[in-house]
Amino acid sequence: MRLALVGLPGSGKSSVGRVLARKLGVSFTDSDTVIEQRIGEPIRSYFEREGEGRFRDLEQQVIGELCASRLGVLATGGGAVLREVNRRVLHEDCTVLYLRSSPEELHRRLRHDTQRPLLQVKDPRARLQQLYRERDPLYRETAHFVVETGRPTVQTLVGMILMQLELAGIVDANRVPPPSSRRARTLELGPYTSGMSSISVTPLSGIETIDIALGERSYPIRIGSGLLRAPESFAGVPRSPLAVIVSNTTVAPLYAQLLRDALRGKHAQVELITLPDGESHKDWTTLNLIFDALLAGGADRKTILYALGGGVVGDMTGFAAASYMRGVPFVQVPTTLLAQVDSSVGGKTGINHPRGKNMIGAFHQPVCVVVDLETLSTLPMRELRAGLAEVIKYGPIADASFLGWVEANLDALLARDVATLRHAVRRSCEIKAAVVGQDEREAGLRAILNFGHTFGHAIEAGLGYGEWLHGEAVGCGMAMAAETSARLGLLPEGDAERLIRLIDRAGLPVKGPDLGADRYLELMRLDKKAEAGEIKFVLLDAIGHAVLRSVPDATLRQVLASRCT
Active-site residues, by number, are 326, 348, 390, 432, 442, 446, 450, 453, 457, 470
Query: What is the largest distance, in Å, between two alpha-carbon atoms of the chain?
Result: 77
**In the chain, what are the helix, strand and coil shares in percent, each to the nearest 5?**
55, 20, 30
Strands (E), 408-544: 536-542
DSSP-derived pairing of the beta strands 208-212 and 200-201: antiparallel
Distances (CA, A) of 474 to 178, 277, 337, 400, 478: 26, 20, 14, 19, 6
DSSP assignment, residue 299? -
Contact between residue 452 and residue 462 where contact means Cβ atoms under 8 Å apart: no
- Amino acid identity of residue 113, one-letter, is D
Within 111-208, residue ranges assigned H as helices are: 124-142, 154-167
Query: CB–CB of 406/394 below 8 Å?
Result: no
Q: Vertex 541, ends 536 and 546: CA angle to 5°?
A: 55
User: How would you classify residue 150: left for phi > 0, otherwise alpha for psi between -120 and 50, otherwise beta?
Assistant: left
Helix (H, G, I), strand (E, B) or coil at 347: coil
CA distance 34 to 2: 17
Cα–Cα distances (Å) from 477 to 27, 34, 473, 539, in that order, read 37, 48, 6, 11
Helices 381-398/154-167 angle, 10° precision: 80
Cα three-residue angle 311-149-212, rounded to 5 degrees: 30
* 277 DSSP 8-state letter: P
CB-based contacts of 522: which residues, under 8 Å, 6+ apart? none
Go through 515-544 and write b for each residue having 16 or more CB atoms within 10 A of its CB, e for each that does not: bebeebbebbebbebeeeeebbbbbbbbbb
CA distance 358 to 349: 8
3-state secondary structure of 123: coil
Q: 434 and 331 in contact (C-beta within 8 Å)?
A: no
Distance CA 205, CA 201 (A): 9
Q: How far apart are the first and last CA of the chain?
A: 46
**Separation between Cα atoms, residue 90 and residue 80, nearest integer Å:** 10
Whole-number Å distance between alpha carbons of 431 and 384: 20
Give the amino acid at 71: L
SS3 163: helix
Closest to 263 in 3D by CA, of 247, 241, 248, 294? 241
Helix, coil or strand: residue 206: coil
